[in-house]
A and B are shown apart, each in its own frame.
Chain A
Amino acid sequence: MSKVVIEHAEASETFNKDESYVDWHDETLWFVRKKRDISSKLLPEWEELRETASQIKNYVLSHMDDLLETFEKNAKANGIHLHWAVDAKEHNEIVLAILKQHKVEKMVKSKSMLTEECHMNEFLIQNGIEVIDTDLGERIVQLRQEPPSHIVLPAIHLKKKDIGDLFHEHLGTDAGATDPQYLTEAARQHLRDKFLTRRAALTGVNFAVAETGGFVVCTNEGNADMGAHLADVHIASMGFEKIIPLQSHLGVFLRLLARSATGQPVTTYSSHFKKPREGQEMHLVIVDNGRSTQLGRPDFKNSLKCIRCGACMNTCPVYRRSGGHSYHNAVAGPIGSILAPNLDMTKNADLPFASTLCGSCSNVCPVKIDIHDQLYKWRQVLVQGGHVPQAKEIGVKAMSMVLSQPRFYQWSGRLGRSVMRTLPFMVNNSLNPWFKQREMPEPPKESFRDWFVRNRK
């Protein structure tokens, strides 16, 4: 039975072909993670902030309907046109209808993972609309006709040589030029022209504030603002979980978001949209697309607290060495692996297994989502539901048997260690996915537990 279309493990094999490249990817993301550590340690209240953010988000989950209704009332009073979409298809159709109504055939867009989730670009292009992504990283992957590989750093899987070649082909930069400054300047010129000539702009939403009926969009490049303030029509798309109760709660979230994402104390631009400017039309599409189902899963509802900072990806040993594309989902990494099975259990059954369950993701998450616990729980659900191919299923069953019986665990560990010492080929073969591109570690002669027992007086 082979139900899984692309397997994470398979896709990461491709990614792992060039060892020095994977090392670079790994180290670069770890460097971003370290910047997060330094930045967070400058705030003595960091842990309290995380706890506070988590509690606010818990409140949001348990009052979602009230908050959405309050937001709707206030947003409408501000003159924003509000739309509700049960799924991706409806979202895309709403956007298309707005564009058609205004006879717009070309649109600029700033970063929105939701539109990736909805595959909006493909849909609009099929319907004769040109969509230009304006975030530099997103423009790069768009020109390469591939999806972003990271929610905050969309082109992190590429080297400057790849981008130099790409820009030479599409933007006419000098052949062989790889200087990031030069390439960024070329993109600036190219995209300025788009900003100045497009009449519609779509942005994502980082936070929607029930109290004010407004929403906040955070960027470093300024592309969301450039697009929105020049366009006649501004469309913003949000998953309904982006709602927060009060404007002053932004103090908590904006302090956490950029520090967790890149280690910056705040993004360059935190733009608060409340009313359209004179003569402009502002639309907001509130999307469900499986979120209300996830809200009803006690084990997985916490995934809706996510503020999309990307910290769990930067810290994840599996993500860093397998790359975002191996997750075959709009949101990659640990959080993506919890969100994806909610959308399609069969197609995404492999993702909760793309983790060592080391817990590093849960430790860095600014809203304290129990990410690795949820990954572990998804495994049970997916195996029980028959969504997991057999090879992995046997492994999982054996694993949960081992882990649920401490005695057996001690014994099997001892056995495992001696097998590895005497018959290393049995472990270092292609049946063991962890061996791919890796030398298995030298097994220690005794486990810490054995050592401890022996050395205890």
Chain B
Amino acid sequence: MSSREKILQQVKLNKPAETVLPTHYTFNSGYKDTEEKFKEILQAIYTEVIIVESKEHLREKVEEMYVDVVNKATTIPELASWADFSLQVADPHDLELIEVAILQAEFGVAENGAVWISDNHLQHRVLPFITQNLAFVIPRNALVNNMHDAYNRLSDTTGWGCFIAGPSKTADIEQSLVIGAHGARSMVIFLVEN
């Protein structure tokens, strides 16, 4: 008998009496202002939220924020000429030099500041992790209250996706919080009007 069969057989034999799934398992978070909550939570996890009126405004903002930076990459068509690092690489290891990446993402979650990004928005899964600094661009109206709403909204059928909430961090040395463990050292979220 294979290990698979052994395990399944033993499980079948030993499993407890049947119970049913709860039918109601989602909850509402009646925030007065979803965007305010989103901003407040992100501020607490060292992430700036910037509201821009349009992609042109985004471009102006970005140019002013990353003046002397080299190795800038983006997936936003309107920022293509701002970037100086092409994402057209065959091997994801080549992305190692990227200093800042500005990436389109799908939506944000107010209760925890997480943003959903997936294969839908990326050629290279490692990009949001390997870049030294990270910025997400999402539509201003693409915010949900909590994780139940987030999974309701999630229609992603791609092979990989991630909720990312703030920059990478660790507190493994005496519980002192340090930003920039393995992933991005800083995070900015642009909310674009319309």
Give chain A's interface residues, CB within 8 Å of chain B: 28, 31-32, 43, 45, 48-49, 52, 55-56, 58-59, 61-65, 68-69, 78, 84-86, 90, 134-137, 140, 153-156, 158-160, 163, 180-181, 183-185, 188, 191-192, 195-196, 220-223, 225-226, 229-230, 240, 245, 247-252, 254-255, 262, 264-277, 286, 288, 292-293, 295-296, 298, 301
B15 contacts which of A64, A136, A163, A264 (Cβ < 8 Å)? A64
Which of the candidate stretches B69-77, B99-107, B175-183 sits at the interface with the other chain?
B175-183
B26–A268 touching, CB < 8 Å: no
Residue in A245, A266, A286 whose Cβ sees the most chain B Cβ within 10 Å:
A266
Instruction: Give the CA-CA distance A206 to B66 in the complex, in Å.
Output: 37
A276 to B92 CA separation, bound complex (whole angstroms): 14
**What is the CB-to-nearest-CB distance from A333 to chain B, in angstroms, rounded to a whole number?**
17
A56 and B163 in contact, given A65-B11, A274-B158, A301-B16 (Cβ under 8 angstroms):
no
Contact sample, A vs B, 30 pairs, CB 8 Å cutoff: A32-B175, A45-B27, A52-B24, A55-B19, A55-B22, A63-B18, A68-B11, A84-B2, A90-B3, A136-B181, A137-B172, A140-B172, A160-B173, A160-B174, A184-B181, A188-B182, A221-B170, A221-B181, A222-B129, A226-B130, A248-B151, A251-B26, A264-B112, A266-B113, A270-B114, A273-B160, A274-B158, A275-B158, A293-B10, A295-B15
- Measured CA separation A184–B12 after assembly (Å): 47
Within 8 A of A (CB), among B38-60: 41, 45
B 127-166 contacts with A by CB, 8 A: 128-130, 146-148, 150-152, 154, 158-166
Q: Would you call B27 and A49 a contact (CB within 8 A)?
A: yes
- Cβ–Cβ contact B162 & A271, under 8 A: yes
CB distance A153 to B183 under 8 Å?
A: no
Q: Does B194 contact A (CB under 8 A)?
A: no
| Contacting pair A251 B112 (CB below 8 A) | no
B8 at the interface (CB under 8 A from A): yes
Residues of B within 8 A of A160 (CB): 173-174, 176
Interface size, chain B (Cβ < 8 Å): 74
Question: Given the complex, which residues of B lie within 8 Å of A181, measured CB to CB?
Answer: 176, 178
Known pairs A52-B22, A62-B17; A225 contacts B126 (CB<8 A): yes
B165, A247: Cβ atoms closer than 8 Å: no
Interchain CB contact under 8 A, A69 and B159: no
Contacts A137-B172, A220-B181, A247-B154; A268 near B147 (Cβ below 8 A): no
B19 and A293 contact, CB distance less than 8 A: no
Q: Which residues of B contact A268 (CB under 8 A)?
A: 45, 164-169, 183
Alpha-carbon distance between A264 and B166 when the two chains are bound, in angstroms = 11
**A269 and B164 contact, CB distance less than 8 A:** yes
Classify the interface of chain A: helix, strand, loop or mixed.
Answer: helix
Q: Which residues of B contact A (CB under 8 A)?
A: 2-4, 6-8, 10-22, 24-27, 29, 41, 45, 92-93, 96, 109, 111-114, 118-119, 124-126, 128-130, 146-148, 150-152, 154, 158-176, 178, 180-184
Interfacial chain B residues near A301, Cβ < 8 Å = 16
Task: With both chains docked as a complex, state the minimum distance between the C-beta of A292 and any C-beta of chain B, in angstroms.
Answer: 4
Q: Which residues of B contact A185 (CB under 8 A)?
A: 180
Q: Is the CB of A248 within 8 A of B148?
A: yes
Known: A90-B3, A163-B173, A184-B181. A58 touches B14 (CB 8 A): no
Chain A residue nearest to B28 in the complex (CB): A45
Q: Do the beta carbons of B172 and A136 come within 8 Å of each other?
A: yes
Residues of B within 8 A of A245 (CB): 21
Listed residue (B11, B118, B184) with the most chain A CB atoms within 10 angstroms of its CB: B11
Q: Is the CB of B181 within 8 A of A62?
A: no
Residue of A154, A159, A163, A229 ringed by the most chain B CB atoms within 10 A: A229
- Taking a contact as CB atoms under 8 Å apart, the answer to whether B162 and A266 are in contact is no
Task: Output the least CB separation between B149 and chain A (Å).
Answer: 8
Taking the closest CB of chain B, its distance from the CB of A67, in whole angstroms, is 10
Q: Please tell me which one of the listed residues A59, A69, A225, A286 contacts residue B21 in the complex, with CB atoms under 8 A apart.
A: A59
Which residue on B lies nearest to A252, using beta carbons? B25
Q: Which residue of chain B has the shortest Cβ distance to A90 in the bound complex?
A: B3
- Of B29, B151, B173, which one neighbours A247 at CB under 8 angstroms? B151
Q: Is the CB of B170 within 8 A of A184?
A: yes
Q: A84-B4, A184-B170 are in contact. Are A230 and B93 (CB under 8 A)?
A: yes
* CB <8 Å contact, B112 and A266: yes
**Closest B residue by C-beta to A270:** B163
Q: What chain A residues lie within 8 Å of B25 (beta carbons)? A: 52, 56, 248-249, 251-252
* In contact, A155 and B147 (Cβ under 8 angstroms): no
Q: Which residue of B lies closest to A292 (CB)?
A: B10
Task: Given A249-B25, A272-B162, answer yes or no on A59-B16 (Cβ-Cβ < 8 Å).
Answer: no
Q: How far is the CA of A188 from the CA of B114 in the complex (A)?
A: 23
Query: Are the C-beta atoms of B126 and A230 separated by less than 8 Å?
Result: yes
B27 contacts which chain A residues (CB < 8 A)? 45, 48-49
* C-alpha gap A247/B2 in the complex (Å): 29
A162 to B132, CA, bound (A): 28
Q: How far is the CA of A137 from the CA of B173 in the complex (A)?
A: 7
| Contact, CB under 8 Å: A255 / B11 | no
Distance from A140 Cβ to chain B, minimum over Cβ atoms (Å): 7
Partner of A274, one of B10, B93, B152, B160: B160
Q: A225-B183, A269-B163 are in contact. Are A61 and B174 (CB under 8 A)?
A: no
**CA gap between A137 and B182 in the complex, in Å:** 13
B183: chain A residues at CB < 8 Å are 221-222, 225-226, 268-269
